[in-house]
Amino acid sequence: MTNPFDILAPYLPDVLEPFILPLLQIGVVFLGLSLIVAYIVYAERKILAHIQVRLGPMRVGPHGLLQPIADGLKLLLKEDIIPRGADSFIFWLAPVISVMAAFTGFALIPFADNFIVTDVNVGLLFVIGISSLGIYGIILGGWSSNSHYPLLGALRSAAQLVSYEVALGFAIVSALLLSGTLSMSGIVKAQITHGVWFVFVQPVAFFILFVAAIAETNRNPFDLPEAESELVAGFHTEYSGFRFSLYFLGEYAAMILVSSIAVTLFLGGWTRPFQSVGWLDFLKYAPVALFAFCTYWCVAHERKMPRAPEWRWQRLMLLGLGGGAAVLALVFVAVPPVVDAVQGVFWFLVKVCAFLYGFIWFRGTFPRYRFDQLMRLGWHYMIPVAIANTIFCGVGLVLWRSLGWSFAGSLWIGTLLTLLVALLLSGQTEAPEPTVTRRGS
């Protein structure tokens, strides 16, 4: 549990001591996140493009790798429009709230066992509380634009967030019951002590958390607040330029935040898969494999590029990337402490990325719910199932603690009971039967 920044501690003046280290970490997280967000947008465009048999960005840099930077510059340089009749102060404030709420939450996320800005003992509550402030960015932005599409989008968004927050809360409660602590790193440690990720004993809670997370971040199929066929762009219709990019940043940061929460609560945070299984130790060289693959990919694609001189920079860049990845891979292999040091962050990011991929995948696959259907799903299915799950999780815990049954087994009994409830709830609707006949004429 040594914080890498503690090395600096002796050299700092006493008065500043409590500030410098967190500020450094905040800086790392903030800058890193901004970059990650930019590249998540890139990844989204690329993945969606490949789902939709397109290429996606290809022009700026090799395979469009510099596209996010170009986009960022473009957004910064665009004219900043405040609509006439808008409440300019709130119009200015709203995107800031949105970004702040999303970024502040990361202060409490344990990226690794030694990399967390501040480990508060009510960490989880704080993350949830602060991320729930993000809704103000949406409501106020929609309201202050003085236009109908944004207002409708904001109202929808607020109703949606408030509804799904309940289900989200109940899903979180079951993870809390299992770990017995509100501290984020404590929850991960509880999963290490139990030797099992909570997703394997509380799949229903995980599922509810996942669905609620999609709803909370206004992603497809719950992207009603920004349904472009109905509300143009929802609450940020009137925003342009830098303010718009702030919203964009906030939205994607919120996506990462909820993914991080889900990973911390249910997917074992920074631990590698099956940490208790000794012979899987070779998995710690997964970063090496990843970077080696990057090198291979870069080199392979460089060979496919045209030899024309105007492609020279693109080729050089790709080779440079590949070389960098190769160097990293070599360092990992050559210096074992380094590879051990990045384990936590690596696995954490891998899991978060898997989540984000799911978000993008859904966007490419699903149609959009109607508003009343979304509400019905939330209130009629998600919340009752979440409550049932919490109760049966408690029952399972009692079985485990008092009767001495096995941990996983007793919780699975609870899960099965929850699934029964879910089945009863969903039994009310019948499956669609095809009604179009072709024969005859």
Partner 1 sequence: MFYLFNFYVLAALTVISAIFVITRRNPVHSVIFLIITLLSLALLYVQLQAEFLAAVQIILYIGGIMVLFLFVIMLVNLDVVARQAPFNRQWHIAGLAALVLLGELVAALYWGRGTPTLPLAPPTALQPNTELIGVTLFQNYLLPFEIASVLLLVAMVGAVLMAKRR
Partner 2 sequence: MAANNSSQFGVETTVLGADEIILNMGPQHPSTHGVLRVKLKLDGEKVASSECIIGYLHRGVEKIGENRTYPQFAPYVDRTDYVAAVSNGLGYCEAVEKLLGAEAPPRARWVRTILTELQRIASHLLWLGTHALDIGAITPLFYTFREREEILKIFEKYCGARLTTHAFRIGGLQYETYGGFEDEVRVFCKDFDKRIDEYEELLTSNRIWVERTRDIGVITAEHAVAMGVTGPILRGSGVRWDIRKAMPYAAYDQFQFDIPIGQRGDTYDRYLVRLEEMRQSRRILLQAVESIPDGPILARVGKVIKPPPGEVYHSIEAPKGELGYYIVSDGTTQPYRLRIRPPSFINLQALDRMVQGHLVADVVAIIGTIDIVLGEVDR
375 binds partner 1 per the rule CB under 8 A: no
Contact 359/214 with Cβ under 8 angstroms?
yes
Q: Which does 207 bind (CB under 5 to 8 A by kind): partner 1, partner 2, none?
A: none
82 binds partner 1 per the rule CB under 8 A: no
Give the residue from 76, 41, 96 showing the smallest Cα distance to 256: 41
139 binds partner 1 per the rule CB under 8 A: yes
d(CA 199, CA 247): 31
Give the residue from 154, 131, 128 showing the smallest Cα distance to 141: 154
> What are the residues facing 266 on neighbouring strands?
none
371 binds partner 2 per the rule CB under 8 A: yes
41, 109, 151, 422: which one binds partner 2 (CB under 8 A): 151
Least Cβ distance, residue 387 to partner 1 (angstroms):
15
113, 165, 223, 251: which one binds partner 2 (CB under 8 A): 223
Question: For residues 23 and 77, which CB has a smaller minimum distance to partner 1 in the complex?
Answer: 23
Least Cβ distance, residue 181 to partner 1 (angstroms):
8
For 419-422, the CB contacts below 8 A with 24+ separation are 419/204, 421/384, 421/385, 421/388, 422/204, 422/381, 422/385, 422/388
Least Cβ distance, residue 83 to partner 2 (angstroms):
7
d(CA 91, CA 298): 44
146 binds partner 2 per the rule CB under 8 A: yes
1, 7, 14, 52: which one binds partner 2 (CB under 8 A): 52
Element (H, E) at 294: helix 286-304
Q: Which does 158 bind (CB under 5 to 8 A by kind): partner 2, partner 1, none?
A: partner 1
361 binds partner 1 per the rule CB under 8 A: no
Question: Can you spell out the DSSP letters for 42-53?
Answer: HHHHHHHHHHTT
d(CA 167, CA 204): 12
13 binds partner 2 per the rule CB under 8 A: no
Binding window for partner 1 (CB under 8 A); candidates: 43-51, 133-141, 304-312, 319-327: 133-141
Give the residue from 201, 196, 94 showing the smallest Cα distance to 144: 94
440 binds partner 2 per the rule CB under 8 A: yes
Distance between start and end Cα atoms, the chain: 77
Per CB under 8 A, residues contacting partner 1 are: 18, 87, 90, 93, 120-122, 125-126, 128-130, 132-133, 135-136, 139-140, 143, 151, 154-155, 158-159, 161-162, 165, 182
Per CB under 8 A, residues contacting partner 2 are: 48, 51-54, 83-85, 146-149, 151-152, 220-221, 223-224, 227-230, 232, 363-373, 432, 434-441
